[in-house]
Structure 1
């Protein structure tokens, strides 16, 4: 709800799928039934799903059953390991088989889709809309007034997030012990940990850290506050896919608490490093960046291969092209060396998205439809 409020989105439908101790089977069945009912009542021309959650896959299945064209945003992410991340890897593979238009964030994602047998004409590289959202919020972002964050950034701060299902249990316990060791070794550095609400995370991750003077455990941060935290921290420890994409925009090194990632572009660019969940390995990786200024600088360069803030516009143009309302947009080329660009530059980039003739043709077609 807070994200909808932040971006001025007012949903027309609420599927109300959340239940106590819900299972993946429960989510799948409730989303499938709920989205099917909306399709039956609204009779849409297409259904757009984003990402790789169970909600995404189940909604896509509903569209397939109702013979509604499915458009997949953030298509083509792969680790190559069916069970890691679980269940996201299989969700996105299955969604690719259901979709008719694939909006891939990067050329690597496009290559994955081509390997899966998806026709090149059905793929458009757009960049990722998560960067659009980040730039939108950071452009008007000021200091947070969240009392849980008061004074945290008076010292250098490491931002920590952990929630992935495949890390539950001992892997997450090792992460917690590593943070406790680092906090003891570096008392002049703060550790900010917005705790996931899932008891499977909290019951393992928090006990070793509660009461440590330089570890700040908070409730989950709203998006605006989390953007502030990424901007103001010195380093990010995370198992989140989205954070791997967002933090490089601010030039913050990202140590990824996973053994595989569906976002290899940041690893290739040098802004992220896979370190897994082994306690000693986590400690060693953080210590290196804290004590070796050269190693830190090497990762802390503001190169973001995931987008330039124009993914939403490219996606709209691609959908228009899908319906015969214009030509294909120019694709994202992965060359956004610094996504924090002034509005004027963004405007000039937007003007290049669609050739002038295509823009005119689209305008004429839309005019005919309206009039």
Structure 2
């Protein structure tokens, strides 16, 4: 395609194996990249080099180690209130040196973080092709989320291969004139990561959570998992959410709620507001295998995590994604898609109750395929990278059944 930075065709048999750098800037990116790294290592035709970098490099490294993957920590920033632009500049300089030393054949970035943007620009300036995983996500509002929406659009401009999770994301890219064979719909690698995590599950480290799981499996209670990022919530919004959860528990007498939270202000607030409710279990953050196991048996999920929201339909679990203005809410556009709502007490309680009460009805109907992925996204990503590097045919694209 014209005006597209692409690598030269790979050398033939007997020559070096091409190297691809994958950039993990936080736990979310690590979770979504891990299946791709595993697929690349499994085939052995492309050598993956994992760089964990940015202010959340330690979290990324911990997640990747859970998948049995080693990392090379490049830059671990201590932000301490440092402005995003200054931190990104430091990261950009470090990545520029790394790409100059490694001379990779391509760089894979995931999502819309400042780390992904910095890595994409560093690679572009080194004339290294950029591959964007989870490309095409758009809000069409540069102020929300800020600065992520700007990062998404700018990364797209310098990317040579766009790996979109869904046909909707691919259509968004098409609207911006990113079309043709270098836009590949692969499905969400978060779904792959969820299945992998479930395979690694042994038991819960918290005996209280294990007791809840046992009761759910025995059919004695239903379960709602509430999983939110503590650092992203203001006190006012968190208060509304926790009031809504309390109302939900009081309305549904057979419902157990598991609420994992790190130690800090939000956890203290949760204990103050929910600590006297015997059917609410507040626990430390739960590792991916344990969390996905809970998700697989839950009646409903309440979260602000896109990763969990994309994994939930694989288990037939309806989801309420929290975000946006208080009092707002929207029903799913398609089967398997989540409800969305702001952090409003009445809305959270009402929609969550609706999802929990639909549990019996869902058990009597055929499951809806997950519209976000089928567990083979990483394989498609690996095949797309091979095609891009001149090693294989272009993969068949993910097409969810609706």
Instruction: Give the TM-score band, short-chain normalised.
Output: 0.7 to 0.9
Q: Secondary structure in 1 aligned to 2:72? A: coil
Does the 8 A contact of 1:267 with 1:274 survive in 2?
no
Q: How does 1:142-181 map to 2 (within 5 A)?
A: 142-147=202-207, 149-153=209-213, 154=215, 155-163=221-229, 167-181=233-247
Does the 8 A contact of 1:35 with 1:59 survive in 2?
yes
Q: Classify 1:123/1:200 alpha carbon distance in 2 versus 1 (closer, same or farther; 3 Å).
A: farther
Does the 8 A contact of 2:200 with 2:289 survive in 1?
no
The equivalent residue for 2:53 is none
Report the Cα distance in structure 1 between the residues aligned to 2:161 and 2:259, rounded to whole angstroms: 38
Superimposed CA distance per residue, residues 325-345 of structure 1 (whole angstroms, 9 cap, x where no aligned partner): 22211111123x8xxxxxxxx
Q: Classify 1:193/1:294 alpha carbon distance in 2 versus 1 (closer, same or farther; 3 Å).
A: closer
The equivalent residue for 1:28 is 88
Superimposed CA distance per residue, residues 17-47 of structure 1 (whole angstroms, 9 cap, x where no aligned partner): 2444555345423422322221122121211
Q: 2:295 aligns with which of 210, 224, 230?
A: 230
Unaligned runs of 5+ in 1: 338-371
Does the 8 A contact of 2:203 with 2:210 survive in 1?
no
Does the 8 A contact of 2:124 with 2:158 survive in 1?
yes
Residue 329 in 1 paired to residue 389 in 2? no
Does the 8 A contact of 1:161 with 1:193 survive in 2?
yes
Does the 8 A contact of 2:322 with 2:341 survive in 1?
yes
Residues 208-217 or 280-289, more deviating: 208-217
Report the Cα distance in structure 1 between the residues aligned to 2:196 and 2:143, rounded to whole angstroms: 34
Q: 1:59 aligns with which of 119, 133, 157?
A: 119
The equivalent residue for 1:214 is 279
Q: 2:344 aligns with which of 243, 254, 278?
A: 278
Q: Classify 1:205/1:40 alpha carbon distance in 2 versus 1 (closer, same or farther; 3 Å).
A: farther
Q: Classify 1:291/1:235 alpha carbon distance in 2 versus 1 (closer, same or farther; 3 Å).
A: closer
Does the 8 A contact of 2:107 with 2:129 survive in 1?
yes
> How far did residue 267 of structure 1 move?
4.0
Report the TM-score when normalising by structure 1. Answer: 0.80
Residue 269 in 1 paired to residue 335 in 2? yes
Greater strand share, 1 or 2? 2
Residues 165-174 or 237-246, more deviating: 165-174
> How far did residue 72 of structure 1 move?
0.4
Q: Secondary structure in 1 aligned to 2:178? A: coil
Report the Cα distance in structure 2 between the residues aligned to 1:60 and 1:265, rounded to whole angstroms: 35
Does the 8 A contact of 2:242 with 2:274 survive in 1?
yes
Residue 303 in 1 paired to residue 303 in 2? no
Q: How does 1:1-371 map to 2 (within 5 A)?
A: 1-21=61-81, 23-25=83-85, 27-147=87-207, 149-153=209-213, 154=215, 155-163=221-229, 167-196=233-262, 201-202=266-267, 207-259=272-324, 267-291=333-357, 301-335=367-401
Report the TM-score when normalising by structure 2. Answer: 0.74
Superimposed CA distance per residue, residues 82-121 of structure 1 (whole angstroms, 9 cap, x where no aligned partner): 3333333222222111211101111111000011121323
> How far did residue 53 of structure 1 move?
1.9
Greater helix share, 1 or 2? 1
Unaligned runs of 5+ in 2: 1-60, 216-220
